[in-house]
Amino acid sequence: EAGVVQSPRYKIIEKKQPVAFWCNPISGHNTLYWYRQNLGQGPELLIRYENEEAVDDSQLPKDRFSAERLKGVDSTLKIQPAELGDSAVYLCASSTNRDGNSPLHFGNGTRLTVT
């Protein structure tokens, strides 16, 4: 099966600019996650979707971050405006169900550098 696809792979922007990341999960995976991974740390959950519904966005900085999954398949994560501290790898993952007991399949991530 095809894996989780993310684009772009790398992105360099200046602070205060907007940026968007795209994710296509594994076919049939209803649950989609966006994680942020800082250097030397584990992934931290930003938002979790069940189909098109955001069921956990408690750790999403809503003043500048937004996400959508309009048709319950692809998803985009947007930052506007970006800050220096947003530099990190943004990982998308998908799984087959929502009970926290299913393995996560990660994409290659988008490495964001804010200058």
Partner 1 sequence: GQQVMQIPQYQHVQEGEDFTTYCNSSTTLSNIQWYKQRPGGHPVFLIQLVKSGEVKKQKRLTFQFGEAKKNSSLHITATQTTDVGTYFCAGSRSNDYKLSFGAGTTVTVRA
The distance of closest approach from Cβ of residue 2 to partner 1 in the complex, given in angstroms and rounded to an integer, is 15
8 in contact with partner 1 (CB under 8 A): no
d(C-alpha 87, C-alpha 17), whole Å: 13
Give the one residue of 1, 27, 40, 70 binding partner 1; rule: CB under 8 A: 40
CA 86 to chain centre: 13
Rounded (10°) CA dihedral 60, 47, 45, 108: -120
Instruction: Output b/e per residue, 102-114; b: 16+ Cβ within 10 A.
Output: eebbbbebbebeb
Question: For the chain, how are helix, strand and coil distributed in percent, rounded to 5?
Answer: 5, 50, 50
The distance of closest approach from Cβ of residue 111 to partner 1 in the complex, given in angstroms and rounded to an integer, is 10
**For partner 1, which is the closer residue by CB, 5 or 81?**
5
Task: Spell out, one character per residue from 51 to 70, where the chain touches partner 1: x when CB under 8 A holds, - when not.
Answer: ----xx--------------
76 in contact with partner 1 (CB under 8 A): no
Binding site for partner 1 (CB under 8 A): 35, 40-45, 48, 55-56, 91, 98-101, 103-109
